[in-house]
Chains A and B, each alone.
Chain A
Amino acid sequence: MKIASVRILAASILLAAAVPATAHHGTSVTYDTSKTIVVEGTVTEWVYSFPHVQIYFDVPGADGKVAKWGTELAPTPSMMKNLNVGWSRNSVKPGDKLKLTCAPHRVVGATACLAREIVVNGKLMPLNDAQIKQAAAEQAPAGSAR
């Protein structure tokens, strides 16, 4: 499998993000939210169900062997376009190129993680209001007002 980098973050910075997330099913006891990893692969399945949104994807390893990966996103209500961020059942499709920054699973070797930042086919797909602004800024023409 190809893990581009592993970044250990200053724990205090992630703390604020970790705590609200745990209000839903205690994700912090499943994932090590003090760390993030970056994983790249090809989407095989987009599951836009309630209350957990998931992306499944294949990650090619150096030996040519494909590792099956999965990630959970924010709780569905906060992802829906009529509430907050604006994802839909058409947001991701099999074959899309995925670059995922995520908190790793606490089970060593598990190829599942909690999404922090999602780039699909080179485009940032926001997971929260701040990333919406970031995505808009990245897409704005150079020199345009922000």
Chain B
Amino acid sequence: MLLASQTVRRALLGSAGAIVFVALLPLAGAQVAPPDTQVALPTSRAPQPGDPWKADGPPPANPRDLSGKWNRVSHFQTYGAVKGGANEYQNEILDAQVTNRQPDLRPESARIKGLKYSEPVFTAAGKEAFEKNLPGYGLRITSPRLGNDPQGNCDPWGVPRMLNGQVAGPHATWEIVQEKDRMLWIVPWHHQYRMVWTDGRKLPTLDEVDPVWNGYSVGRWEGNTFVVNSMGFNEKTWLDHNGYPHTYEMTLEERYRLLDANTLELTMTIVDPEYYAEPFKSDVKIWKRDTINNKAWDENAYCVASEEGRFNRLIRDGEIGK
């Protein structure tokens, strides 16, 4: 069967290339951590060989300097330790689709093993809003033509989604620019940035401002932890790629801490009582100082609505021949 063997060979070649590309990037900065510098691992999944998110560098020269380019090495695309909020679930679902079987989403299954997720505690209104959001990722993965991810129109991700996205494969960088009176998060994907004022100003109230895509943010140091408080978000954004909703009333707290010179930790808490009956806490996010520096495409990672719209219509919606 020449034809079949050629096809198999091509399929294998294709898959090997994809795996190599995806696998190389997160390992680029991996080192063996001396036992005395290990820190608590993120709670989102069990440690695996090659995980680069141990604290493995020297102490930071200045623990209050977060500036630099950072690449996220913990889970991509997801805000929290939320069931369905991980590529592992998505991959099992797609695996099942391709192999024509029922997905095995039990905690003990091969792909889900080690993941301990819990649902956020929705209110009835929150659950209803969540079910209306149809994402192209995660446990509820939907074809883009049937979904309603605002990203499909190149809408801004907003905060916190822009903190947890990825550009391609596992490349999830942003850069922190630290000024005297403010800090900037530069997010290549979609050409977004957000600003956090550190000049001592207070957050406005919802009566004083209109809700906007990125909200309003102020930051301060608590010891060596940088705490960002934000409010005033419009309701057009999702919390992450999995379609978690929020209202105008949402407030967000981000807590950043350097674990060593090359490792940055972030945990987040959302308070939005109309949609979430309890504060919605993220899992622990870990970034490493970017060791795959200066990819030329980082600075050109636009999402252009006219280009994306045409692509979605002709290719993803399959209307090219109509």
Contact = CB atoms under 8 A, between A and B. Distances in A.
Interface string B283-306: 000000000000111001111100
A41 to B, nearest CB: 12
Q: Which of A15, A20, A52, A128 has the most CB of B within 10 A?
A: A20
Contact of A5 (B3, B13, B302): B3
Interface in B158-189: 166-171
B142 A28 contact: no
B318 A82 contact: no
B87 interface: yes
B320 A51 contact: no
Interface string B109-153: 000000000000000000000000000110001111100000000
Contact of B15 (A5, A17, A67, A80): A17
B307 A82 contact: no
Interface residues of A, number: 64
Q: Which of B11, B143, B166 has the most CB of A within 10 A?
A: B11
A77 B167 contact: yes
- A interface majority secondary structure: mixed
Contacts of A130: 12-14, 16-17, 20
A76 B94 contact: no
Contacts of A10: 8
B8 A111 contact: no
What is the size category of the interface that chain B forms with chain A?
35 or more
Interface stretch (B55-63, B97-105, B214-222, B227-235): B97-105
Interface in B54-86: 76
Interface in A1-54: 5, 7, 9-26, 28-30, 33-34, 36, 47, 49-52, 54
Nearest to A117: B10
Nearest to A134: B13
Contacts, number: 194
B99 A15 contact: yes
Q: Which of A23, A68, A116 has the most CB of B within 10 A?
A: A23
A74 to B, nearest CB: 8
Contact of A80 (B13, B20, B99, B296): B296
B291 to A, nearest CB: 15
B210 interface: no
B98 A28 contact: yes
Q: Which of A109, A110, A116 has the most CB of B within 10 A?
A: A110
Contact of A25 (B100, B144, B321): B144
Contacts of A21: 18
B314 interface: yes
A80 B321 CA distance: 28
A123 interface: no
Contacts of A96: none
Given A78-B168, A130-B17, A30 B3 contact: no
15 contacts: A17-B18, A20-B21, A23-B170, A28-B97, A30-B144, A51-B167, A51-B168, A51-B303, A77-B171, A82-B295, A82-B297, A110-B320, A116-B14, A128-B21, A134-B13
Given A17-B18, A20-B22, A80-B296, 13 more contacts: A19-B94, A20-B21, A20-B169, A21-B18, A23-B22, A50-B301, A50-B304, A52-B315, A68-B320, A127-B14, A128-B14, A128-B18, A129-B20
Interface of B: 3-4, 7-8, 10-22, 76, 87, 90-91, 94-95, 97-100, 136-137, 141-145, 166-171, 295-297, 300-304, 307-308, 311, 314-321
